Each structure stands twice: as C-alpha cells, then as structure tokens.
Amino acid sequence: MSVEIGTKELQAARTIFGERLSLAERFVSHLATSGIERGLLGPREVPRLWERHVLNCAVIGELVPSDARIADVGSGAGLPGVALAIARPDAQLVLIEPLERRVAWLHEVTQDLGLTNVDIFRGRAEQAVGKFDVNVVTARAVSALTGLATLTIPLLQGSGEVLAIKGRSAAEEVAKAAKVIRRLGGVDTRIEAVGSSLLEEPTTVVRIVVSR
C-alpha cells in the first residue's frame, strides 16, 4: 500500500534515509496495512505516518554516534527502532517488546526489509538489563519520564545516553524526574529539538547522559 507523502516530507525522507528510502517506503506500507490490522496503530494515523511517526522518529539518528549499539524500549510498531535501523545501517539495534503479537509483527517486518542490524528481544526492559551491551537507549510513548528513566537508564550499565522522544510536556517531565535521573546515574539532562531544518514540527527529545 502506497501512503501519500508531501513534497517537504519527501525531501526530508530523502535526506534522512538516502539510498535506503525504498526500505522506509516499504516500512510505511507495512504500518499502513498489517500495522493497522493488528492494532499497532489506529487507522486515523495513516495520513500522518510519514510526518508524525516515521520521520519524527528517524530524525533522532542525528543524535546517535557512529556504530552505536542501541536498545529500543517498547518498540511496538517499530517506532523509533525500525525507522532508526533503516536510517542508520551502521548502528546495531535490539528491539525490546513484551507483547507477543507485536514481537511477531516486528519479526515479519524486519525480515521482509532485510534488516541485518536488528535483533528482537521479547520481554520487559528490566528483563533485558545485562543481556545486551548498548551505549544508547531510545524510547517513544512508553511512560512518563520518571518511570521511563527507571526502565531505560539501567540498560546502559553505567555509561551512555538515553534519547526519549517526548511532546510538549517534556520540560515538566524533566523537572519531576530530576531526582530519579540523578539517583540512577544521569549527569546531564537536556531537551533538544531535532530536525528543525527538515520537519515542519521538530522532534522533541529528552537527552540523558549517564556516566559512572
């Protein structure tokens, strides 16, 4: 299924995905068909798949260091995990998802796209601690930052960064989570707007640097 994409979104997609744009298009097609059918996204999201979901997620790749090892918590519909795997083939990702039907869908999609830089772990984030050597943890629409920090920071095992995609409440969430973040080893927390030159509405990312 082909999903309409606007001129500005197409330019952004070409910049972000480069020669792998066709893979991003196939991913969007999966989201618009089986992703909707299996309840991973609502049908009203189809017209906004590019702008609100795939580009919104993939653009955070500019914050990811070269050859990163990324854990994506609560991957669900592959956002941001699969989008990042397409945009950043140099990175190695593990998609962490507890629900079996979502895990099955992620396996189908990543196999169809031929993404060799993706592993999938069925389980909760706390069950994955110590099982993977990662230096970046990503998350989107998982929980408020206070709870999210307790799920994501331990996966870094003392060193790395959390990149949490958030909305307009980001500053309020950061203020509420400050003590928890510091207790878990977060030494610097900031809010960044990513993709300002590419997207109509930049992606808001809470970036937490963790250090021993």
Is the pLDDT confidence value at 14 over 90? yes
Contact between residue 155 and residue 125 where contact means Cβ atoms under 8 Å apart: yes
pLDDT tens digits, 98-120: 999 999 999 999 999 999 999 99
| Residue 174 CA to its chain's centroid (Å) | 19
pLDDT tens digits, 44-98: 999 999 999 999 999 999 999 999 999 999 999 999 999 999 999 999 999 999 9
- Tell me the one-letter amino acid at 12: A
Q: Where are the domains of the chain?
A: 57-210
Q: What angle do CA 116, 118, 123 make, to 5 degrees?
A: 150
- Mean pLDDT in the chain? 95
**Homologous superfamily, domain 57-210:** Vaccinia Virus protein VP39 (3.40.50.150)
Phi and psi torsions of 70, nearest 5°: -115, 135
Torsion 104-108-113-117 (CA) sign:
positive
CB atoms within 10 A of CB 192: 16
Torsion 142-75-9-32 (CA) sign:
negative
Q: Is 4 helix (H, G, I), strand (E, B) or coil?
A: coil
Record the pTM: 0.96
